[in-house]
Each structure stands twice: as C-alpha cells, then as structure tokens.
Amino acid sequence: MGELTTDRIALGLTTYVVLLFSLSFHEAAHAWAALRMGDDTALRAGRISLNPVVHIDPIGTVLLPLLMFLSAGTPLFGWAKPTPYDPANFRRDRTLAQGHVTVAGAGPISNLILALAFTLALFGYLRLGGTVSRNPAYLILLSGIHINVILAIFNLVPLPPLDGSKVAAFSLPRDLAETYLRIAEPYGTWILLLLFATGMLGVIVGPIQGVVTGLLLSLVR
C-alpha cells in the first residue's frame, strides 16, 4: 500500500469519477437497447439513467475500486449491477438471437464510443494548447480512454456473466452454440475467476487492450 499523498488521492478520485460515469453509461446502454427491442423492464426499473446510484454494485462499484485505489492509486476497473431485461417482450419483427445480441453488445459498444469521445476531446484539448503535467483535465480525458477500452474489451470475453457470453451464445451456429453453452453455463464463471486469479486474463486481454488504446492515442499525437 503506497503513501496517500494529495496527488494520489486526487488521481484516485478523478479516475473513480470517470469509472462511475463509464459504468453508468454502459448499463444505461443495455437498458436503452432492451427498450429498442421492445422490453421496458429496465426502463421501469429506472436503469436508463446516467445516475450512478441506480447502477451501483457494492463489490464491483465500491469495494473493488477502493482496493485498487489503495494498492495502485488508480481505480481503473469495476462493474455495475446487471441490467434486467425480459426477452419474452422483444419485438416480434426481431429474432430472439438478435434481441439478445443487441442488448448484450450495447454495453461494450457504448464503452468504445466513450473511448473515442474521450480521444476526440483529448485531441481538441491538446490542439488548444492544454498542458499534460498533472493537469486535471488531461488526466480525466486520458483515464476516460484507458477505462473505457478496458471495460469494452473485458466485457467481450465470452465467459459468463460477461456480455461476450451472450453475444457468443446467440451468434454461433446452433450446434456450436449448444457445445459452447454446455461448457460455459456450468463452468464459465469459474473459468473466468481462475483466469483472473492467475493473471492469465490480463495476458489474454492485455495485448488487445494495448493495441486499441495505442491506436486511439496515436490519433491525438
């Protein structure tokens, strides 16, 4: 645990605010997509909102970011309360698979959109003469890029309970989907926890995250 200096506290709070906004945007995107597919379950639960209070998960939104802040100084990762939806309410002019993939994919896509938005904002900030040395605006924009790329790539991992598991289950051909579900449904969460505990998740996701982040940052140079 590092020393809690003023700079470290400021950086931690800055990144946490960006993380809360990004998680709220992610879950609101799920809720909005479900509504577009004909299901108003999330709307009635008040989940089409950027208010972080309605999306908070005690562990993923509070405890984990706090532990990351205390250990590394920057809470760059977390998760929010899953957005509820009822596929029985999906529009009849869409297949069940289209509904599931649309709702599940909306979350990671929203984070990629946010990452691009933060990149464009950083581009404008630097072109207008903004400084990079301990500047709060610069730190907010930079952390916005990193956080949203991490959230997008991580959530696309095809293991329950992540969004990528639903995208995979309803995008694969039926025979492959059935084989995938026989493995993913009973063991997927345990596989994910094992990958996380051993550090293998970072080995798998890290290079992809690095490429995407590097590509975005190359646009502002």
Q: Residue 164 has what pLDDT? A: 96
On whether residue 62 sits in a domain, the answer given is yes
Q: Which residues contact 159 (CB under 8 A, 6 or more apart)?
A: 165, 184, 188, 189, 191, 192, 195
On whether residue 194 sits in a domain, the answer given is yes
The CA–CA distances, whole Å, from 76 to 17, 145, 185, 214 equal 10, 10, 28, 17
On whether residue 93 sits in a domain, the answer given is yes
- Domain count across the chain: 1
Q: Residue 5 has what pLDDT? A: 81
pLDDT, averaged per 10 consecutive residues of the chain (221 residues), comes to 75 91 98 98 97 95 90 83 96 94 98 98 92 83 95 95 95 92 92 90 93 95 81
On whether residue 196 sits in a domain, the answer given is yes
On whether residue 1 sits in a domain, the answer given is no
Domain that holds residue 198: 6-218
Q: Residue 96 has what pLDDT? A: 94
Catalytic residue positions, numbered: 27
Q: Residue 1 has what pLDDT? A: 56
